Amino acid sequence: MTTYLPPVESKDTSFGVKLYLGTSMVVVLLMMVVGLLMRAAQAGWLDIPADIFYQLMTTHGAGMVGISGLAGASIMWHFLSRHVHLSRTVLYINYGLFLSGVVLILGSIFWGGYAGGWTFLWPLPAKSMGLWSADAAASFILGLLLIGVGFLIFNLDAGLAITRRYGSVLRGLGLDQLLSGEIRSDHPPTVVASSMVIIVNTLGILSGAVVLVVTLANLYFPELVINPLLAKNLIYFFGHVFINATIYMSVIAVYELLPVYAGRPWKVSRPFYAAWAAATVFVMAVYPHHLLLDAVMPAPLLVLGQIVSYLSGIPVLLVTAYGALLLVYRSGIQWQVPALWLMLAMFGWAGGVIPAIVDGTIQINKVMHNTMWVPGHFHFYLLIGLLPMVIGFGLHITSAHKALNVQVQRTFFFLYFAGAVAFSVAFLAGGWASVPRRWAQHWPEWMAYDQVGSLAAIVVIIAMVGVVIALVRRLLERNHGTTA
């Protein structure tokens, strides 16, 4: 049995990281409330007009994707800055561009009536049938562009810092060690994960920027067009890469913090490098599984989407989840609250991949893709995988100078766990029963799934309120652990 190491934060926490984290937690809570309103409307408990419902759906989708990116960026910056020199100016520029983009997006939705969904599928922004103006659509597109530019600058700064320290981003990923066979066990897992995120997210954001710029121009110059199938591929490549990158940024918290609680280091190895190298390719290659219903897609891409769907979750998930289990096994770990959240994230990430693989099978996808099965899959990932990583990170850095109320926070943890699982399973069960997704109103035969989901969402929100209050109060306190 190893000696337990108390969770003392040995490095200063940047004010920018706290700003990112506090903003993320508050916005996530608000987006949960928006999600509850939609579920309650589908359950027949609220009367929300269809146009307002789709405005809420657009807000919830764009909000959750964007704020997940901001939360993941706080974790990546916090830990990567221990190994390379990152620009604080860039950290704040990204935050400023993010807020500016949010203002434009919210204005487009609640002032301009835009309700085209966060995926902005071509040519929907320009084909509103009078529900919103070209200016409203342009505001939404500009907002996404600003957020994308901010994250692009963030990634380029991190990539430059890794290049200065290790020679290149590929060396940061560990490819040189993987190919040479000379494994340096002191190479930080944080640098490996960050390098992967930089590669895939830079390419994803650039592809999204292409179609966003064309969409924006088309709103005022209709003669400027793009092939719809190409546009859809660019959009889903961007969307799939970006939301996956949020998880890969956030899992850095597991690599850095779980060893603190277990009292054992997390060392890199040849399988670790191989897994992250494979994930870099798979995350970019798997996006066609979103397009399996598009019969005009080239068949090889659809086959690629199905095959890689089976493979993409295995490499990093295996070395991370299995590595986490090995790390804590017989370690004498004391299950403090942040450690509970981090292990819950491993369960959520591992469990969430199962419905994803099911939906990635072409014959099943034909029946299940446009049902509640799909939101069940990604809510499982985000609610039980991604968000617990962020919460565990937040509780750790804020408890370093002031102890948590353990009994209260454990209660919130188990409430959240039960509610999040029930909420996600209600979606999956609805999908199994062929309840369609994206419908503002549901038939009475479907409402039982919506009602269970709504009750579960209330439990999650109650737990989340307790967590957010504890986090924000601590983030607002001045202490010696904060730097400018």
N residues, the chain: 484
pLDDT at 436: 95
Q: Residues 260, 9: contact at Cβ < 8 Å?
A: no
Position of tokens 């960026």? 73
Q: Residues 39, 457: contact at Cβ < 8 Å?
A: yes
User: Three-state DSSP class for 108?
Assistant: helix
* Domain boundaries, given as residue ranges, for the chain: 13-477
pLDDT at 484: 44
Rounded to an integer, what distance in angstroms lies between the CA atom of residue 248 and that of residue 196?
8
The string of DSSP codes covering 51-85 is HHHHHHHHHHHHHHHHHHHHHHHHHHHHHHTTTS-
Q: Which residue type is seen at 19?
A: L
Element (H, E) at 297: none
pLDDT at 319: 82
Rounded to an integer, what distance in angstroms lies between the CA atom of residue 471 and that of residue 28?
13
CA 173 vs CA 179, 197, 259, 327, 433: distances in Å? 12, 10, 21, 22, 43
Q: Which fold has domain 13-477?
A: Cytochrome C Oxidase; Chain A (1.20.210)
Query: How many of the other CB atoms lie within 10 Å of CB of 125?
Result: 24
Q: Using alpha carbons, select from 139, 135, 141 the residue that is nearest to residue 120.
A: 141
To the nearest 10°, the Cα dihedral for 316, 319, 322, 325?
Answer: -110
Residues β-bridged to residue 482: 13
pLDDT at 478: 60
pLDDT at 37: 97
Rounded to an integer, what distance in angstroms lies between the CA atom of residue 402 and that of residue 391?
16
pLDDT at 402: 67
Q: 289-316: buried (b, 16+ CB within 10 Å) or exposed (e) per residue?
A: bbbbebeebeeebbebbbebbeebbebb
Q: Residues 466, 419: contact at Cβ < 8 Å?
A: no
pLDDT tens series, the chain, 484 aa:
333 333 334 455 689 999 999 999 999 999 999 999 999 999 999 999 999 999 999 999 999 999 999 999 999 999 999 999 999 999 999 999 999 999 999 999 999 999 998 888 989 999 999 999 999 999 999 999 999 999 999 999 999 999 999 999 999 999 999 998 788 888 999 999 999 999 999 999 999 999 999 999 999 999 999 999 999 999 999 999 999 999 999 999 999 999 999 988 888 889 999 999 999 999 999 888 888 888 899 999 888 888 888 887 777 777 888 888 888 888 888 889 999 999 999 999 888 888 888 888 888 988 999 999 999 999 999 999 999 999 999 999 988 766 778 899 999 999 999 999 999 999 999 999 999 999 999 999 999 999 999 999 999 999 999 999 999 998 888 654 554 4
pLDDT at 480: 41
